[in-house]
Amino acid sequence: MTDTQWPRYEVFVQERPGRPHQHAGSVHAPDPEMALLNARDVFVRRPECAGLWVAPATAVHGGSAEELPQLLAAPRSQGGSPSNEYLVFAKLEERGTLTHVGEVRAAGREAALAAAQEAAGNRPPLALWVIPAERVERSLPEEAASMFDPSRHKPFRNQAFYHIQTALQRLRRDPSLIANRQSPEARR
């Protein structure tokens, strides 16, 4: 209890309404609700967020393209309902990140991963995750204002707020603006 570990939650950020959620990183938290709040504090200091999901790292099944053949060959867990819903996240571009691409229904995580791989078709993902839908904690639309609006009122976090080049050019054109300027020679 004195440590800083707590369970790790993977964080997915939706930058604009209608865009897919994308993996941004992770946070540690004692429960899903705190994970969502920590994720807001860590990943949403800028306005580019319309929705936030977190899921316990232990609920993630999958891995990189190198790991997938072995994961797909593993024996499947028994007894789950074939209608269990899993969210699918795939990394499709070298410079991209894991992105929500859809859902599959399967009796267990191994079957879900296989279904997700099959759905990818002839475009094999560079990394692939499935997460049971019930394990994903999502920000609620009615909470969006209190969760995300504070970041909209901080224009000073944007570099365009500062007009440095203009100010430097002005000084270059008119050095008298630095009225009490000492020449380098005078300093020596």
Residues that bind another protein (CB under 8 A): 1-6, 8, 24-31, 34, 41-43, 45-46, 63-67, 91, 94-95, 97, 126-127, 154, 156-159, 161-162, 164, 167-168, 171-172, 175, 177-182, 184, 187
The CA-CA-CA angle for residues 42, 47, 53, to 5°, reads 55
User: Cα–Cα distance between 188 and 174 in angstroms, integer?
Assistant: 24
Minimum distance from CB of 33 to another protein (Å)? 9
Minimum distance from CB of 34 to another protein (Å)? 6
In this structure, what token pair is assigned to residue 176? 């008298």
Q: Which is nearer to another protein, 122 or 159 (CB)?
A: 159
Q: Which is nearer to another protein, 24 or 106 (CB)?
A: 24
Q: Which is nearer to another protein, 121 or 184 (CB)?
A: 184
The CA-CA-CA angle for residues 150, 155, 158, to 5°, reads 120
Q: Which is nearer to another protein, 16 or 45 (CB)?
A: 45
Are 20 and 53 in contact by the 8 Å Cβ rule? The answer is no
Nearest to 24 by CA among 6, 2, 47, 49: 49
Minimum distance from CB of 167 to another protein (Å)? 5
Nearest to 36 by CA among 150, 151, 138: 138
Minimum distance from CB of 73 to another protein (Å)? 15
